[in-house]
Amino acid sequence: MSDTSGWGPQAPYGGQPGPYGGPQGPYGGPPPGWGWAPPPPPPKPGVLPLAPLGVDHVLGGTFATMRRYAKPLFGTAVAAYGLLAVVMATAAALAYLSVREHFQALSETDATFSWDHGRPILIAFGAVWLMSMLATLAVNSFIQASCAATLHEAVLGRPATFAAVWRRAWSRTPSVMGVTLLLAFILMLPLGACMLLFVSFFVTVMTQSAAPFGLVFLLLLVVTPLAAWLYVLFAFAPAAASLETAGPFQALRRSVRLVRGAWWRTFGISLLAGFIVGVVSLAVRIPLQFAAPDPPVVDPDDPTSAILFDQLRSQFGLYAVFTLVATFVTQLAASVFLPLVTAVLYIDQRIRKEGLAQALTQAAAEDEADARQGAPVSPSPSP
């Protein structure tokens, strides 16, 4: 059986692609004889046809992967988020225990704020916040790697177990983390410009000068398209880091090479995927907002603490549990759907530019031959 793990370049950039990848394939030239017949459909051993993909194939292959490989996909994601919740709860509990005396000192009646008590609290929970950012980055990178690892098997219709996907994704998480950190920094550029725009608005109001607001607005107009261009240019880097066992910088170069000439297509399909996630999220959120219980009537004679307690208590209970579960399920689906779309687009560009379909077709034929002979098909080829 051919081992296609790693998925390094199958042909040099600009070289002769294989079947279904360009005019040199057996289906690209005119058929012999006087008549003409349409070419046979491309092989489809798994969730994707081994040929250049249209938008319907990209989305259809993504949904098919989520349906057929739900256990390894969502199982690894749920396990990763569960581990993140345990780590964060433990860190918060340890931080509280380490500064409990300072909390009690500030909570006493007629107590005034003192930096002797406030500084340790800020340091402890600042460390928890920093650790939560790093842990979230690691979990998101792991989920992206697990999606690519599952798609690696789904393209050829091979089985993918939870344990195999976990091992393969965990081994590629550090490389994907490096790529994800850069992509997060790129997204922070327009967010930082928006924050500066908000601050410059107040500066303009106080100083009655429009120069700060105008300059920051121009900066936002420049930064936002630049960030979008860079983000799409490096969009395939997580998939390359997972499927080609590439390092972060090598994965970034591979993404630039594959996206070149297909930037608008990659941007459009990724935007469509984001729009689908947004519509589904709104379809879940809006009914929940209408179903929210009415807050209790406020009595002006009640103390502030009692009013706040009544307001909070009205938002808990069965409604809060249902809202939390619905939000988690929506977030879980989005965290799997978007990386899968990007990974499918990566495979599509590999088929178009590097003739990856030829290697995958050969691997699928060998898998079929092994199955006929009774040889087991490995669910997770070693990298």
How far is residue 339's CA from residue 136's CA, in Å, rounded to a whole number? 16
- Kindly state the percentage of the chain with pLDDT values over 90: 38
Q: Which of 73-77, 188-192, 377-381 has the highest mean pLDDT?
A: 73-77
How far is residue 340's CA from residue 239's CA, in Å, rounded to a whole number? 9
Tell me whether residue 238 is in a domain: no
Pick 70 or 114 by higher pLDDT.
Answer: 70
How far is residue 166's CA from residue 150's CA, in Å, rounded to a whole number? 10
Pick 87 or 190 by higher pLDDT.
Answer: 87
Query: Residue 283 belongs to what domain range?
Result: 55-175+246-293+301-367
Is the confidence at residue 313, as pLDDT, over 80? no
Tell me whether residue 259 is in a domain: yes
How high does pLDDT run on average in the chain? 80
Window from 41-50, 212-221, 322-331 with minimum mean pLDDT:
212-221
Q: Which of 184-188, 197-201, 214-218, 296-300 has the highest mean pLDDT?
A: 184-188
| pLDDT band with cut points at 50, 70 and 90 for residue 302 | low
Contacts of 376 (CB under 8 A, 6+ apart): 370
Amino acid at position 152, single letter: H
How far is residue 130's CA from residue 136's CA, in Å, rounded to a whole number? 10
Tell me whether residue 331 is in a domain: yes
Question: What's residue 1's pLDDT?
Answer: 41
Nearest 10 degrees: Cα torsion 37, 25, 383, 248: -120
CB-count burial class (<10 Å; 0-12, 13-18, 19+) for 342: buried
Pick 301 or 151 by higher pLDDT.
Answer: 151
Is the confidence at residue 119, as pLDDT, over 70? yes
Is the confidence at residue 273, as pLDDT, over 90? yes
Query: What is the count of structural domains for the chain?
Result: 1
- Mean pLDDT confidence for 152-166: 90
Tell me whether residue 131 is in a domain: yes
Contacts of 219 (CB under 8 A, 6+ apart): 193, 196
Nearest 10 degrees: Cα torsion 128, 130, 133, 135: -60
CB-count burial class (<10 Å; 0-12, 13-18, 19+) for 346: buried
Question: Closest Cα to residue 353, out of 27, 21, 6, 48?
Answer: 21
Question: What's residue 105's pLDDT?
Answer: 74
Tell me whether residue 213 is in a domain: no
2-to-51, 205, 359, 364, 382 alpha-carbon distances in Å: 19, 67, 9, 8, 11
